[in-house]
């Protein structure tokens, strides 16, 4: 079992805490001049996303979490799992709804996503920051409107709904920022 | 009088909570090599001078601590340490207060209270008789995350936990002198008999940051030897390496240390308070990770 001593603590380090994989956000070394040293740590639980605090005695060892981030290509969804493939080894991974979570509405086949694996199983799925998706349904635009002011809802091929400028039409491809869910631009072939 | 004492010595501090950095010398005077310890404060050397009868002395020097790096810690830092023969720790607090007021741009509020009073005021209990399990309960009640699972070596470590997590953040702005520490935290201070016996030791906090530690100095060489021995036994129990004890200090105490008080003030942290720096690296030209 791999372990880390408190001296190795830093932002981004993945440790096991109460049975869950966690990522250290912030580590503060606390020590009275003539007394016991502590590490006061802010930690994100990678399963629940919750941020908690924890104090360790300096010098303690903590179990390491086998967590890594990989770039995988999205293949398809069979109604229960979302399937991803390593483009180099062709190894496939299946992620459940909990791991895919909010990213689901941005997943388009062949896009490269960032997957966090814990003991080889997807823990979370992050869509690319920008995706190009085709509009499958939106109201007809008004003639002459080029400003984009106001806007209208548009349903995309993945089911996501974003606000787009009035001049954008059905069947057009658009670029969306998945972090904010906002329209960026039209995409011409 | 300004003095200068060696940063490297064949002996080192025995305090189980303080580790010395080590180095070695080989050459004339030590042809087969000699293990040396970088001082963690100039205390032992300065007390040897005091015992020789030099009178009041001060020194600003770099000191070194193994295993201490963080927002308020750099492994190498600067201390102003001084000793006043004929002073007790309260008179030295007066002097310290005047010094700090002189370097701050605006007068700052000052409080002085005993360690016991501080715990009573902020946490509502008497720390002197409290045992480890009671202290753990307080830590859990205070919401220190992970307190229920912490394995701390003794009650002083639990008191340190409460001090650093619950009390320091609530000290507020200004100077706060804390004095009369539990006898078990006497370090090199005299213990005043009473109910309970307390150490004539003080610490200065400025804006909640520990800035200085002072003692009404222990002059009894036999008592000092016993404390060194107790430190070594404690270190052994915890699996820590034992450094050589400073026998020259013990000889000096035996020859006679004048009744005096001494204090060490962290200059880097004082600069942090004055400039509003959030991290000690902001007041160092080249902090540890770029040294």
Strand ranges across the sheet with A38-45? A14-17, A20-30, A38-45, A51-57
Q: B49 with B2: CB under 8 angstroms?
A: no
Q: Is the pLDDT of residue B83 over 80?
A: yes
> Quick one: tokens of A12?
């981004």
| Inter-chain CB proximity A29 and B68 less than 8 Å | yes
Angstrom distance (rounded) from CA A34 to CA A15: 29
Q: Is the pLDDT of residue B14 over 70?
A: yes
| Inter-chain CB proximity B161 and A37 less than 8 Å | no
In this predicted structure, what is the pLDDT of residue A1? 77
Residues forming a β-bridge with A138:
A154
- Residue B261 belongs to domain spanning: 8-109+173-290
Residues of B in Cβ contact (< 8 Å) with A54: 145-146
| Inter-chain CB proximity A34 and B187 less than 8 Å | yes
pTM for the full model? 0.86
Residues forming a β-bridge with A109:
none
The pLDDT tens digits of the residues spanning B198-231 come to: 999 999 999 999 999 999 999 999 999 999 999 9
| Inter-chain CB proximity B164 and A28 less than 8 Å | no
Please name which of B46, B1, B21 lies closest in space to residue B264, comparing C-alpha atoms.
B46
| Inter-chain CB proximity B144 and A36 less than 8 Å | no
| Inter-chain CB proximity A35 and B185 less than 8 Å | yes
Residues of A in Cβ contact (< 8 Å) with B163: 32, 35
Q: Is there a domain that residue B164 lies in?
A: no
Residues of A in Cβ contact (< 8 Å) with B67: 7, 37, 58
Report helix, strand or coil for B240: coil
Q: Is there a domain that residue B130 lies in?
A: no
Q: Is there a domain that residue B198 lies in?
A: yes
Average pLDDT over residues B251-255: 97
In this predicted structure, what is the pLDDT of residue B176? 98
Strand ranges across the sheet with A130-138? A161-164, A152-156, A130-138, A173-177, A182-187
In this predicted structure, what is the pLDDT of residue A149? 62
Residues forming a β-bridge with B81:
B59, B264
Structure-derived torsion over alpha carbons of residues A139, A142, A144, A146, reported in degrees to the nearest 10: -50
Q: B226 with B21: CB under 8 angstroms?
A: no
ipTM reported for the complex, 2 dp: 0.93
Q: Is there a domain that residue B139 lies in?
A: no
Q: A67 with A21: CB under 8 angstroms?
A: yes
Q: What is the domain-level CATH number for residue B87?
A: 3.30.930.10
> Quick one: tokens of B84?
């006043």
Angstrom distance (rounded) from CA B118 to CA B110: 14
Residue of A29, A33, A52 with shortest CB distance to B70: A29
Q: A58 with A40: CB under 8 angstroms?
A: no
The pLDDT tens digits of the residues spanning B154-199 come to: 999 999 999 999 999 999 999 999 999 999 999 999 999 999 999 9
Taking the alpha carbons at both ends of chain A, their separation in whole angstroms is 51
Q: Is there a domain that residue B124 lies in?
A: no
> Quick one: tokens of B38?
């970088």
What are φ and ψ of residue A50, in 5° steps? -70, 145
Tokens 């200065």: give the residue: B204
The band of B115, judged by pLDDT with boundaries at 50, 70 and 90, is: very high
| Inter-chain CB proximity B203 and A30 less than 8 Å | no
Q: Which long-range contacts (CB under 8 A, 24 or more apart) does A86-93 make?
A: A87/A112, A93/A117, A93/A120, A93/A121, A93/A122
What are φ and ψ of residue A82, in 5° steps? -105, 130
Average pLDDT over residues B122-144: 97
Taking the alpha carbons at both ends of chain B, their separation in whole angstroms is 32
Give percent of chain B with pLDDT exceeding 90: 100
pLDDT tens string, chain A, 189 residues long: the values are 799 999 999 999 999 999 999 999 999 999 999 999 999 999 999 988 899 999 999 999 999 999 999 999 999 999 899 999 999 999 999 999 999 999 999 999 999 999 999 999 999 999 999 999 999 999 886 666 555 567 899 999 999 999 999 889 999 999 999 999 999 999 986
Closest residue in A to B70 (Cα) is A29
In this predicted structure, what is the pLDDT of residue A151? 86
Q: Is there a domain that residue B194 lies in?
A: yes
Angstrom distance (rounded) from CA B16 to CA B238: 9
Average pLDDT over residues B238-254: 96
Residues forming a β-bridge with A68:
A117
DSSP 8-state secondary structure symbol assigned to residue B177: E
Closest residue in B to A10 (Cα) is B70
The whole-chain average pLDDT of chain B stands at 97
Angstrom distance (rounded) from CA B200 to CA B93: 12
Q: Is there a domain that residue B161 lies in?
A: no
Report helix, strand or coil for B129: coil
How many domains is chain B built from?
1
Strands B198-206 and B209-216: antiparallel
Q: Is there a domain that residue B160 lies in?
A: no
How many Cβ atoms from other residues are within 10 Å of residue A78's Cβ?
Answer: 9
What are φ and ψ of residue B255, in 5° steps? -70, -25
């Amino acid at each position: 079992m791999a372990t880390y001593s408190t001296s190795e603590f830093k932002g981004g380090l993945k440790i096991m805490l109460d049975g869950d994989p966690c990522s250290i956000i912030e580590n503060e070394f606390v020590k009275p001049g003539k007394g016991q040293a502590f590490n006061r740590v802010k930690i994100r639980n990678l399963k629940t996303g919750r941020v908690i605090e924890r104090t360790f005695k300096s010098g303690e060892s903590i179990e390491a979490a086998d967590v890594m981030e990989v770039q995988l290509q999205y293949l398809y969804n069979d109604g229960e799992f979302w399937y991803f493939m390593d483009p180099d080894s062709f190894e496939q991974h299946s992620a459940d709804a909990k791991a895919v979570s909010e990213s689901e509405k941005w997943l388009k086949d062949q896009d490269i996503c960032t997957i966090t694996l814990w003991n080889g199983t997807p823990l979370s799925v992050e869509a690319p920051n920008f995706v190009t998706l085709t509009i499958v349904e939106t109201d007809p635009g008004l003639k002459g409107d080029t400003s984009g002011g106001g806007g209208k809802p548009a349903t995309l091929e993945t089911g996501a709904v974003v606000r787009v400028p009035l001049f954008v039409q059905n069947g057009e491809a658009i670029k969306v920022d998945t972090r904010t869910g906002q329209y960026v631009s039209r995409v011409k072939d | 009088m300004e003095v200068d004492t060696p940063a490297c010595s064949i002996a080192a501090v025995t305090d189980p909570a303080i580790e010395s950095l080590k180095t070695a010398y080989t050459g004339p005077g030590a042809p087969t090599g000699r293990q040396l310890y970088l001082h963690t404060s100039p205390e032992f050397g300065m007390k040897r001078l005091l015992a020789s009868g030099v009178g009041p002395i001060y020194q600003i020097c770099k000191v070194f601590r193994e295993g201490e790096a963080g927002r308020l810690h750099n492994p190498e830092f600067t201390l102003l340490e001084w000793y006043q023969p004929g002073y007790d720790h309260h008179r030295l607090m007066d002097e310290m207060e005047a010094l700090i007021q002189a370097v701050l741009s605006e007068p700052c509020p000052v409080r002085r209270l005993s360690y016991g009073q501080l715990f009573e005021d902020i946490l509502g209990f008497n720390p002197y008789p409290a045992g480890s399990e009671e202290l753990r309960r307080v830590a859990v009640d205070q919401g220190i995350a992970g307190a229920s699972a912490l394995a701390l070596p003794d009650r002083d470590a639990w008191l340190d936990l409460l001090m650093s997590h619950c009390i320091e953040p609530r000290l507020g702005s200004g100077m706060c002198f804390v004095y009369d520490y539990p006898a078990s935290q006497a370090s090199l201070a005299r213990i005043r008999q009473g109910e309970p016996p307390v150490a004539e030791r003080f610490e200065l906090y400025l804006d909640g940051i520990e800035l200085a530690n002072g003692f009404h100095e222990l002059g009894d060489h036999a008592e000092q030897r016993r404390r060194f021995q107790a430190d070594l036994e404690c270190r052994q129990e915890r699996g820590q390496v034992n450094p050589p004890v400073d026998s020259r200090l013990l000889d000096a105490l035996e020859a006679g240390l004048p009744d005096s008080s001494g204090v060490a003030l962290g200059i880097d942290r004082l600069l942090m308070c004055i400039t509003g720096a959030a991290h000690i690296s902001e007041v160092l030209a080249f902090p540890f990770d770029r040294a």
